[in-house]
Amino acid sequence: MTAEGPAAPGTAPDTGAAARRRRPAGPVLPEGPVRASANVCQAAGCLSLGSDRVFEALCEQVTARGLTDVVVRRVGCLGLCAAGPLVSVPEQGRVFDYVAAEGPDGPARVLAAISGGPAAPGSPQGGRVVSEDPFFSRQVKVVLERCGAIDPESLEDYTASGGYEALTRAVTEMSPEEVIAEVVVSGLRGRGGAGYPTGLKWRTVAKSSGSDGRFVVCNADEGDPGAFMDRSVLESCPHQVLEGMAIAGYAVRAERGYVYVRAEYPLAVKRLTNAIRQAEREGFLGREIAGTQFNFTIEARIGAGAFVCGEETALIASIEGGRGAPRPRPPYPAMSGLWGAPTLINNVETMANIPAVVSRGGAWLAGIGTERSKGTKVFALAGAVQNTGLIEVPMGLTLRQIVFDIGGGLAGGRRFKAVQTGGPSGGCIPEDMLDMPVDYESLASAGSIMGSGGMIVMDDKTCMVDVAKFFMDFCREESCGKCLPCRAGTEEMFRLLERISRGEATRLHLAQLESLAGMVRATSLCGLGQGAPNPVFSTLRYFRDEYMAHIDDRVCPAGVCPIAVPAVAGPSKAGGDK
Amino acid sequence: MASTTLATQSAGARAAPSDDKRWRQVDVRMRRLGYRPDGLIEVLHTTQELFGYLDDEALLYVGESLGVPPSKVYGVATFYSYFSLKPQGQHTCVVCTGTACYINGASGLLAALERDLGVKAGQTTSDGRVSVLKARCLGACSMAPAVVVDGEVRGKVGAPELVSLLEEI
C-alpha cells in the first residue's frame, strides 16, 4: 500500500500558511458594546481560498476606519464551502459569500453593509440572509451549533458560549448512571454509520469489569471518500468533542481517552492538540476535574493512511502501535478493547452531541428527528450539487429537501441521477426515491446506509458502472489482506467490473459478479469486506439497465467508460483514462 | 532489513545511527512517549517528518529503541500508506481521488500529469523534481477536484493549470 500513499512525507496538506503563522495581534477589541461582528471562516475550505488574507484585510480596514464597535473574529466552518471565502455578520443575520481580500468584493462590501444597515433584499452585495436562504434556514444545529460562531482556537470563546458547563454539571451534580440514563433517553445512535444506540454501548462499557481501567476512544479516522464532517467539527469546535469525551469518561468510569485522527487532516490535528493543551491548563482535563475525584486525560493519536482503521478493532490495533488489522467480534471492544480493557468507541459527531444531551436533557434531543432516529445528522454535501458544503439537518428530512432545497439543486443545470451515501459501504439512491426520509432504517431499506455522512450528488454525466468500479478499486486497495474473501474477492469483483466497463463482459460475467458479491458480503471478517459489495448491489438494483447497455450493446450511456471497439479489444489502462 | 539481528533488546535510549542532529529530535519524541512500543507509529511519523522518508537505518533504530522487533516495524511501516520507504522529489503534488474529486475529473488530472510530465501516481519525475501521489480523500470535497502542491490545498483545479503550475514550480 505504500506505492500510492495519500501524501508524501512532509507534504501533509497544511491548509494555508496562516495555520502555521502566529496570529496577528487581534483587531480592535471593542471597549463598549459590540455593534456588529465579522466572523471570517477559517476552516480548510475557505482557508484554501484565501480567507486568512480576508481576515487580515478586514482587521486593517476596521482599524483604519476607527470602527471601535466592530469585532473581527476567526471562526470555524460556516458551511457553504462552495461559495467561500465566507464572512458572517450574525447581528444582521447575514453571510457574505465570495469575499475577496481587496477590491469591491473585499472588506469594504462587508463593512458597508455593517454601516449601512440592511441592504435591499436580493442584492448580492448585501450577502445572503440566513433566515430566508434555504441553505441556512432549513438546517437545525446541535452538533454544529458553535461552528462558525466561535474561534476554534479559543477556549474563552467556547466557555463564553456555555462550553464545559455540561461537563461541570455532570461531574458535580449527576451520578455516572444518571448521565448514561440521559443518553439512553436521548435515543442518540452512533453517528459513525452503524447506528448502534449510544446509551446501550455506554451501559455495556460501564458494566464490564474494568479492574485494569477503561478507555474512551473517539474515532476521527474519517476515511470515507467524500466525507468531511469530522474534519469540520474538529477544525471548528474541538472543545465540544473533548467535552463529550470527558463526560463519557465520567459515565463509564474511564480515566484515559484517545482521539484517533487522520494524518490527512493537519489543521484538525493542530486545533485538536491545541484544545487538549488549553483544556488541561484550565482544569477541564487532567486531575480532579471541577474539584471532584474525577481524573481524565486525552491523547491524540495520528493515523497513517489506512481506511480499515476506521473499523473499531483495527483502530484499537493501530492505537496499540501495530498494523491496523481487524479481529473477529465478539468480544466487542466494550468488553475487551484497548490492551484488553473495556473500551468505549464513539465517532466525533456522536461525542459532539453529548454536551447538549447533558445540558438540555435527553428528552430535548429526542424531540428532534423521527421515531427511531433521533436528533440531527451532519452531512458533507458534495458532487454535482450547487451548494456544496457542511450541513446539519433533523433526521427525517427527505433527500429531495436536502439536495434541492438546501443543496440548491444540481450545478450547471444538469439532470439528477443518484445520490450516494455511506461511502464505499453505501449505495446509490435513484431519483424516484428522493422523497424518502433520511433515517437509519429508510436508507438501509433502500440498499444504502446512513454511513458517517458523506452525501455525493451525481448527475447524468456519471456512469453507475464506473461508480461501482471506483468504490471497488478503493476497497481492493484498502483491504488489509487478513481475510481471503475481502482480499481476493474485492480484487476479482474489480476485474469483473473493469471488464464490464470496457464492454468485454457477457451476462455470465455479470452473474459471476453477483454471486461473488453475495459471498464477500456474507463471509468477510469486518465491515470493510462486508460492505464492499454494497455499491455493486445498489447500482445493480436501480441501474441494471446501464450494466446491460455495457454488456449487451457495448455502450456506456453516460459516455464515461472506455469501451473498446470489439475488433481492437486492446485493454485500456485501468483507472487513468476516463 | 536483511542483515539485522532479530534479538529484541530492552527498550530505552541508545546511540543514534549518526551524529545527524535530527536524531536528537527523534530521541526526544521517544523519551516523551516513555519508549513504549505502542508509540511506534507516532515515532515513525516524527522520523519521516524530519528525514522525508524512512530508510532501513531509521526503522532499525526506532525499533531497537522501542523494543519492537524489526519484522514488526517493517510490517507497520509498509502497512500504512502514509509512510514512505523511498525518498521523494523536491516538490510533491498529491491528487485527491475521493468520490467527489473522482466524479469531478480527478482522473483527468492524473492522465494529464502522466501525459505531460511523464509520471504516474506514486512516481517521481526523472529529474527528481516532482513526485505525484494519490490521496484517498483530503476532505476538501466541496472544492473538487482538489490537489495539494507542497502542502497547500488548491481546489477546483483544471488539468492545464496544474501542469503549468508544476512545470514552473
Give A528-569 pLDDT, tens digit per residue: 999 999 999 999 999 999 999 999 999 999 999 988 544 334
Q: Which residue has the cell 506505492?
A: A3
- Does residue A448 sit in the same domain as residue A482? no
**How many A/B residue pairs have CB atoms within 8 Å?**
226
φ, ψ for residue B135, nearest 5 deg: -115, 150
Determine, for residues B84 and A9 on separate chains, whether the beta-carbon distance falls below 8 Å.
yes
Q: Which residues contact A104 (CB under 8 A, 6 or more apart)?
A: none
Determine, for residues B99 and A14 on separate chains, whether the beta-carbon distance falls below 8 Å.
no
Q: Give this complex's ipTM.
A: 0.90
Q: Over chain A, what is the mean pLDDT? A: 91
Find out whether A479 and A528 touch, Cβ atoms under 8 Å: yes
- Does residue A175 sit in the same domain as residue A267? yes
- Does residue A287 sit in the same domain as residue A173? yes
Judging contacts by C-beta atoms under 8 Å, the chain A residues touching residue B80 are 1, 303-306, 324
The average pLDDT across B128-143 equals: 90
Judging contacts by C-beta atoms under 8 Å, the chain B residues touching residue A420 are 99
What b/e readout covers A269-290, taking b as 16+ CB neighbours within 10 angstroms? bbbbbbbbebbeeeebbeeebb
- Does residue A347 sit in the same domain as residue A470? no
- Does residue B9 sit in the same domain as residue B33? yes
- Does residue B97 sit in the same domain as residue B153? yes
Q: Write the CATH number for B108.
A: 3.40.30.10
pLDDT band for position B4 (50/70/90)?
Answer: very low
The average pLDDT across A164-185 equals: 98
In a domain, A325, yes or no: yes
Choose the mutation target among A1, A2, A319, A467 for the interface with B, i.e. most B CBs under 10 Å. A2
Determine, for residues B92 and A11 on separate chains, whether the beta-carbon distance falls below 8 Å.
yes
Share of chain A above pLDDT 90, in %: 85
Determine, for residues B81 and A263 on separate chains, whether the beta-carbon distance falls below 8 Å.
no
Judging contacts by C-beta atoms under 8 Å, the chain A residues touching residue B150 are 11
Q: Which residue has the cell 470527558?
A: A246
Q: Cell digits for B2?
A: 536483511
Give pLDDT tens digits for A495-536.
999 999 999 999 999 999 999 999 999 999 999 999 999 999
- Does residue A454 sit in the same domain as residue A471? no
Separation of alpha carbons A208 and A197, rounded Å: 17
Strand order of the β-sheet with A376-383 is A389-394, A376-383, A454-459, A416-421, A427-430
- Does residue A95 sit in the same domain as residue A218? no
Residue in B closest to A11 by C-alpha? B151
Find out whether B12 and B65 touch, Cβ atoms under 8 Å: yes
Determine, for residues A382 and B142 on separate chains, whether the beta-carbon distance falls below 8 Å.
yes
Find out whether B92 and B153 touch, Cβ atoms under 8 Å: no
Distance from CA of B155 to the nearest CA of A (A): 7
Looking at the structure of chain B, the number of domains it has is 2
Q: Write the CATH number for A406.
A: 3.10.20.600
What b/e readout covers A158-185, taking b as 16+ CB neighbours within 10 angstroms? beeeebbebbbbbbeebebeebbbbbbb
Q: Write the CATH number for A473.
A: 1.20.1440.230
- Does residue B5 sit in the same domain as residue B76? yes
What pLDDT was estimated at residue A29? 59
Q: Which residue has the cell 465540544?
A: A240
Find out whether A563 and A550 touch, Cβ atoms under 8 Å: yes
- Does residue A176 sit in the same domain as residue A242? yes
In a domain, A14, yes or no: no
Judging contacts by C-beta atoms under 8 Å, the chain B residues touching residue A471 are 99
What pLDDT was estimated at residue A576? 39
CB nearest to A1's CB, from B40, B79, B146? B79
The letter for the amino acid at A234 is L
Give pLDDT tens digits for A81-128.
999 999 999 999 999 999 999 988 899 999 988 887 555 555 667 789
Find out whether B83 and B77 touch, Cβ atoms under 8 Å: yes
- Does residue A234 sit in the same domain as residue A340? yes
Domain that holds residue B12: 1-86
Domain that holds residue A482: 464-552
Separation of alpha carbons A133 and A408, rounded Å: 10
Give pLDDT tens digits for B51-84.
999 999 999 999 999 999 999 999 999 999 999 9
Could you report how far apart the first and last alpha carbons of chain B are, in Å?
Answer: 36
What b/e readout covers A410-432, taking b as 16+ CB neighbours within 10 angstroms? bbeebebbbbbbbbbbbbbbbee
CB nearest to B136's CB, from A15, A44, A307? A307
